[in-house]
């Protein structure tokens, strides 16, 4: 949950005069998004999401994020569409922060994703990858393989307070990942954070993708590897092969993986689990006790990292070996 910035009615009303949305009727801070302040706003013109970008988001990246949402929505993908002001840029300023107004997407995120929902998210992600293929802006992945060791170093010996030996275990895994990280796979724009709370469903159908604030240019199959971590484990920590299969086959029904991508999926998933392990570990160690940010347990991703290290092929993810052999 997050509302970091208080916004007054007068300044908000002034901000809205840039848009053809009529007069302000109400706005409520909502518990959505961890990096920015979000408000559900109602005006005579309808219902919107107002986002204020806080300091953890680099201002130089905002044109990429906002432009990507415009681009994807323009291709028919269901994601928040930045509302265009009568004049100037969709990205404005409010309460001393960059700010933008977005269309509101109906739908609910799934607290307990089903295999059908895993299939739907695979399809939608592949659709996003295809729709973004001609998006002209570029943004490097600031949380890819070369960012992980500095994160581990920043955690230092505090990592071992989470579990004895953790620092050494991650260091050894990083050595392997750095030596074997694939570099010749198809690249493009990835979402890079497509967790269940960023995917909405409505009456059984996927109704939209949100929160593109980690999107970047990287290996496309890495995005799928992130979803293998985020969608396919049960509460008890077990990997669900039915969900794994549904996710991967859903993806392939829209954008088939080539042989090199399929072979690389286990190491990409090892990398994805370490990436989230490290950022959670860093936040766990560095978030002040009196912060109102809910800390996420790094151990969840330690267990996932260990699982993916055991994986030898897509069969361990539930995909039969003869599926779509290229």
Which stretches of the chain bind a copy of itself, using CB under 8 A? 1, 3, 6, 8-9, 23-32, 40, 42, 47, 104-108, 110-112, 200-203, 289-294
19-44 in b/e form (b: 16+ CB < 10 A) is bebeebeebebbebbbbbbbbebbbe
Cβ closer to a copy of itself: 3 or 246? 3
Cβ closer to a copy of itself: 113 or 271? 113
Q: Least Å distance between CB 100 and a copy of itself?
A: 18
- Contact between 251 and 125 (Cβ < 8 Å): yes
Q: Least Å distance between CB 12 and a copy of itself?
A: 8
- 18 class by beta-carbon count within 10 Å (0-12 exposed, 13-18 middle, 19+ buried): middle
Rounded CA gap, 121 and 132, in Å? 16
Cβ closer to a copy of itself: 26 or 320? 26
Cβ closer to a copy of itself: 29 or 188? 29
Cβ closer to a copy of itself: 41 or 124? 41
Q: Least Å distance between CB 290 and a copy of itself?
A: 4
Cβ closer to a copy of itself: 39 or 222? 39
Rounded CA gap, 283 and 154, in Å? 11
- Contact between 144 and 274 (Cβ < 8 Å): no
CB atoms within 10 A of CB 133: 13
Q: Are strands 97-103 and 92-94 parallel, antiparallel or unpaired?
A: antiparallel
> How long, in residues, is the chain?
326
Q: Least Å distance between CB 29 and a copy of itself?
A: 4
Enumerate long-range contacts of 253-256, CB under 8 Å, 24 or more apart: 253/122, 253/123, 253/126, 254/122, 254/123, 254/126, 254/127, 254/130, 255/126, 255/129, 255/130, 255/220, 256/324, 256/326
Cβ closer to a copy of itself: 75 or 296? 296
Q: Which of 71, 6, 20 is nearest to 48 (CA)?
A: 20
Q: What is the CA radius of gyration of the chain?
A: 20
* Matching residue, tokens 């044109």: 63
- What is residue 146's three-state secondary structure? helix
Q: Least Å distance between CB 47 and a copy of itself?
A: 8
Cβ closer to a copy of itself: 9 or 176? 9
Q: Least Å distance between CB 163 and a copy of itself?
A: 21
Q: Least Å distance between CB 46 and a copy of itself?
A: 11
Q: Least Å distance between CB 216 and a copy of itself?
A: 27
């Amino acid at each position: 949950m997050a509302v970091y910035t208080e916004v007054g009615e007068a300044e908000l009303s002034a901000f809205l005069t840039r848009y053809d949305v009529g007069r302000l009727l109400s706005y409520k801070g909502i518990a959505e998004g961890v990096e920015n302040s979000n408000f559900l706003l109602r005006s005579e013109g309808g219902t919107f999401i107002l986002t204020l970008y806080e300091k953890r988001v680099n201002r130089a990246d905002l044109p990429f994020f906002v432009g990507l949402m415009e681009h994807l929505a323009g291709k028919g993908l269901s994601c928040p569409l930045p509302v265009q002001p009568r004049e100037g840029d969709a990205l404005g300023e409010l309460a001393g922060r960059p700010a933008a107004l977005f269309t509101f997407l109906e739908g609910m995120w799934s607290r307990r994703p089903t295999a059908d929902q895993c299939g739907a998210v695979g399809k939608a992600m592949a659709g996003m990858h295809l729709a973004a293929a001609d998006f002209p802006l570029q943004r490097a992945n600031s949380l890819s393989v070369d960012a992980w060791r500095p994160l581990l170093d920043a955690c230092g010996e505090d990592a071992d307070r989470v579990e004895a030996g953790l620092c050494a275990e991650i260091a050894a895994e990083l050595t392997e990942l750095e030596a074997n990280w694939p570099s010749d796979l198809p690249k493009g724009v990835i979402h890079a954070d497509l967790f269940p709370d960023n995917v909405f469903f409505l009456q059984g159908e996927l109704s939209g993708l949100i929160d593109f604030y980690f999107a970047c240019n990287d290996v496309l199959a890495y995005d799928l590897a992130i979803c293998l971590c985020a969608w396919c484990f049960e509460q008890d920590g077990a990997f669900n092969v039915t969900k794994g299969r549904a996710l991967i086959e859903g993806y392939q029904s829209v954008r088939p993986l080539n042989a090199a991508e399929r072979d690389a999926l286990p190491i990409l998933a090892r990398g994805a689990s370490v990436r989230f392990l490290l950022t959670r570990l860093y936040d766990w160690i560095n978030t002040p006790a009196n912060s109102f940010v809910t800390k996420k347990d790094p151990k969840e991703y330690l267990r996932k990292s260990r699982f993916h290290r055991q994986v030898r092929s897509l069969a361990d993810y539930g995909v039969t070996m003869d599926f779509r052999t290229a």
